[in-house]
Structure 1
Amino acid sequence: MAFVLPPLPFAYNALASKGMSPDTLYFHHDKHHAGYVNTLNGLVEKNPALQGKSLEELIKLSAKDPAMTPVFNNAGQVWNHNMFWESMSPEGGRIPAALEKKIIADFGSVENFKKEFKAAAGAQFGSGWVWLVQQPDGKLAITRTPNAASPISEGHGKPLLAMDVWEHAYYLDFQNRRPDFTGNWLDKLADYEAAERRMNG
């Protein structure tokens, strides 16, 4: 069964007042994300051994196999983008009480959490992702991954939030100002309520 591009969980103009334009959402979702889905389906169609596997299974199967790099890149990017859209909300930016308490316990303060997240985004050379994860011991941490890699492929823990730092995620709205994009994303777009649900799930 072919993988399907999931619809955005909000309208194309739903984030415009919070710094993410309809054009960014259209090109990012309908072109970039759709391209990964279509390419992955083509790769799976040509290889019976891959058929019937979930995205997570394909990622884990291909992560350390150089011969399967195209599968990894496209499966990883499909999964990462699915998580990215689910990490944002038109009502984003508000941190609910339980997650706020956990952030303060593990990072010292909300301000320190955001400072570490911004530092990770700035330190990611080239394309990649920044994640809020819950480690196996329950502690929250921030990690970053290059290109199509993720906490699933790298064993970094359970992902709670994903922020895309590929240039196509922010260039139409912020040009080369990744720090401004990151700050805006944390303050206005991040769906911390979804992160709390994942943390407790």
Structure 2
Amino acid sequence: MPHQLPELGFSYNALEPFIDAMTMEIHHTKHHGAYVNNLNAALDKHPDLHTKSIEKLLGQLSTVPADIQTAVRNNGGGHWNHSFFWALLKKNENGEPVGELAKAIDSAFGSFDAFKEQFHKAGMTRFGSGWAWLIVNDQKQLVIGSTPNQDNPLMDISKFRGTPVLGVDVWEHAYYLKYQNRRNEYLNNFFNVINWEKVEENFLQAL
């Protein structure tokens, strides 16, 4: 079955003033929509791959036929990354991590403020386009890192691997209409729109 563009689960203006409605609509319908369409077009060349989940495709990317591997990497990565990202978004009014996640962040980074500083730095130091991530690695530890373009830590070809718990899109299309070149401001405001309950759910599943 062809991959489909998921619903956001909230209105395009729900994250105002931190992420504007026009950015959300274009990001969801145009950018994510294009990744889905391009992924399906690539998989049409090898129809048997339509039966694989996006997670399995990315986790076994090195085995995808060479003629579509780059298209699956870029567009499949874009589809998974954005689907994951939308589920993380909810205005939280300066909320903080909850439950076991909060304890794990304090243990791994020393404090929530120290975590914020490191996560912000991962987003700021990713040159060009890409993503910053909080993952659970093979040792069941929380680790912060980043990936270029639409790569993610699920990919078997990624240098930064693990199970994503939280991610932030630092492609310019994610923030340019409101923030122009001010990625720093966008990343600071991102902490106002993290659904920490969903992040904890991701954390517990990763364990």
- Same fold? TM cut 0.5: yes
Quick one: structure 1 residues 158 and 62, their matched pair in 2 at CA, closer, same or farther if it must change by over 3 Å?
closer
Does the alignment pair 1:104 with 2:106? yes
Going from structure 1 to structure 2, the CA distance change for 1:51 and 1:64 (only over 3 Å counts) comes to: closer
> What CA deviation, in whole Å up to 9, does each residue of 1:47-72 have, x standing for no partner?
22422111112223335766410121
Alignment check: 8 A CA contact 1:131 1:159 kept: yes
Letter in 2 for 1:89: K
> Are the structure 2 counterparts of residues 63 and 172 from structure 1 closer, same or farther at C-alpha, using a change threshold of 3 Å?
farther
Query: What are the within-5 Å matches in structure 2 for residues 109-148 of structure 1?
Result: 109-148=111-150
1:135 CA drift (Å): 1.6
1:87, CA displacement in angstroms? 1.5
Structure 1, unaligned runs of 5 or more: none
In structure 2, the residue corresponding to 1:189 is in which secondary structure?
A: coil
Q: Does 1:80 align with 2:81?
A: yes
Q: Distance in 1 between matches of 2:92 and 2:80?
A: 23
* Structure 2 unmatched ranges of 5 or more: none
Write the distance in 1 (CA, Å) between the matches of 2:90 and 2:52.
30
Cα distance, 1:100 vs structure 2: 1.7
Q: Choose between structure 1 and 2: higher helix proportion.
A: 1
Greater mean deviation of Cα atoms: 122-131 or 98-107: 98-107
**Contact 1:63/1:69, CA 8 A, preserved across alignment:** no
Contact 2:2-2:40 within 8 A present in 1 as well: yes
8 Å CA contact 2:99–2:200 kept in 1: the answer is no
Residue 5 (structure 1) aligns with:
5
Counterpart mapping for 1:1-201 below 5 A: 1-17=1-17, 19-63=18-62, 67=67, 68-91=69-92, 93-153=95-155, 154=158, 156-186=161-191, 188-201=192-205
